[in-house]
Amino acid sequence: MKLIPKEISVDTFNGESWISLVAFKMERIRPRNLPSVSMISDFYEINIRTYVTKDDKPGVYFLSIEAEKEISCFIAKLLSGLPYTKTSMQFQSNGNSPMYYSINTNKGFQLKANFTIGESIRDKSVLDNWLTERYCLYLEKDQKVFRYETHHKPWDLNVVKISKLKTNYRIGNISLNEKPALTHFSTGVKVVAWSRECLK
């Protein structure tokens, strides 16, 4: 199963490639010159990403994107071409131990995580920056490769302690069913994205 287009190279850190599961909430997402509408613009999302490069420009490549709302998935996929699918998701604050829960019965994907947010990471490691400071994403659609340029401030990161974790993600020969090598929490950033550029 081909996961990455041959025109894009997998990026590595100290010779190792990385896969990340990123669970978060989108808020006030909107096209340029149009207002955000809460029922469409605000939704929970999980993406499975890997780290790639092309023409010496590092970025991310999404292996899977799941979102909470059917209408948000439809519009996001229509406008961006990214591989959005509808998934049942919820977030519960639960006092000092928030819980993020997602289950996709069609794909057999599942995430259940209880966690505690710790102190701010003041001195980010080289790996922290390598994983988070990427300012484009790549997409393959209709046998063409595209790049979306993005811009945002550097991510504010916190230590996060996961007290309970259950994952079931298998994409090709990739399995995300073990304890993660690294975890972060962030309160988020505002992101601006430009129209996609065809590279092929």
**Rounded Cα distance, 9 and 7, in Å:** 7
DSSP characters over 131-151: HH---EEEEEETTEEEEEEEE
**Rounded Cα distance, 154 and 192, in Å:** 13
Condensed to tens digits (0 to 9), the pLDDT of residues 167-190 reads: 999 999 999 998 999 999 999 999
Exposure of 167 in the CB half-sphere (CA atoms within 13 A):
19
Q: Give me the pLDDT at residue 135, please.
A: 97
Neighbours of 50 (CB within 10 A): 19
Q: Does pLDDT of 32 surpass 90?
A: no
Per the prediction, the chain carries an average pLDDT of 94
Total-model pTM: 0.94
Condensed to tens digits (0 to 9), the pLDDT of residues 45-66 reads: 999 999 999 999 999 999 999 9
First-to-last CA distance in the chain? 21
Q: Give me the pLDDT at residue 95, please.
A: 72
Total length of the chain: 200
* CB-based contact 186:155 (threshold 8 Å): yes
Secondary structure of 59-119 in the HEC alphabet?
Answer: EEEEEEEEECCHHHHHHHHHHHCCCEEECEEEEECCCCCCEEEEEECCCCEEEEEEEEEEE
Q: What is the mean pLDDT of residues 158-172?
A: 94
* CB-based contact 110:167 (threshold 8 Å): yes
**Rounded Cα distance, 64 and 96, in Å:** 30
Q: Does pLDDT of 87 surpass 90?
A: yes
CATH classification of 9-195, choosing from 2.40.400, 1.10.286, 1.25.40, 2.40.50?
2.40.400
Q: Give me the pLDDT at residue 109, please.
A: 97
The larger pLDDT score, comparing residue 128 to residue 3, is at 128
